[in-house]
Amino acid sequence: MILQNGRPACAAGREDKEMKVYDVLDGLGIEYSRTDHGPVGTIADCLEVDKVLGITICKNLFLCNRQKTAFYLLMLPGHKVLRTKELSAQIPTSRLSFASGEDMVRYMNVAPGSATVMGLIYDTDCSVQLLVDEEILQEEYVGCHPCVNTSSLKLRTEDVFGKFLAAVHHDYKTVTLSSDSPQS
């Protein structure tokens, strides 16, 4: 793995949804670094990617309420464990669970293991509410996938939560999740 600035030189072998992310970022004048790698689906898988990017990629969880009428993309530091009761009280909603892979594809055009804020490009109806742990917003950079889990990006946090979200007509809600171990 090597760190490169900007989009791949060639689109051959790349999915259209990945290339669309680069088109949007380039069109907004957002600078980014990129590294290509084998598929990663967990934070543990991302440890080598983190070293190349020089940051820690955040965890992205796609959630829904029990009725599947509200969908959420949660961005949180990799070291934190989701406590649904803690998060539910801040949204507010009840009975949060992981949304299905089919819903991930339907709303954000991403497969399980590839959840990313970049997927909001495809949520043109604004069906997904972005939730962001406050620690993510304190970092200078954020790491994420470009809608596929075989590449990772390093972007300025202010660009993602400013220019990018404005361009895709999304806002975010800041949440505070504890760092301690989950309680049963």
Q: pLDDT tens digits, the chain, 184 residues: what are they?
A: 888 999 999 999 999 999 999 999 999 999 999 999 999 877 778 888 888 999 988 899 999 998 999 999 999 998 898 999 999 999 988 789 999 999 999 999 999 989 999 999 999 999 999 999 999 999 999 999 999 999 999 999 999 999 999 999 999 999 999 986 544 3
Domains held by the chain: number: 1
Is the pTM higher than 0.95? The answer reads no
- Residue 78 and residue 45 in contact, taking contact as beta carbons nearer than 8 Å: no
The verdict on residue 40 lying in a domain is yes
Euclidean distance between CA atoms 15 and 20, whole angstroms = 9
Containing structural domain, residue 120:
4-174
pLDDT confidence of residue 180:
65
The verdict on residue 67 lying in a domain is yes
Q: Where are the beta strands (DSSP E) in the chain?
A: 4-5, 32-36, 59-64, 71-76, 97-98, 128-133, 141-144, 151-156, 172-175
CATH of the domain at 137: 3.90.960.10
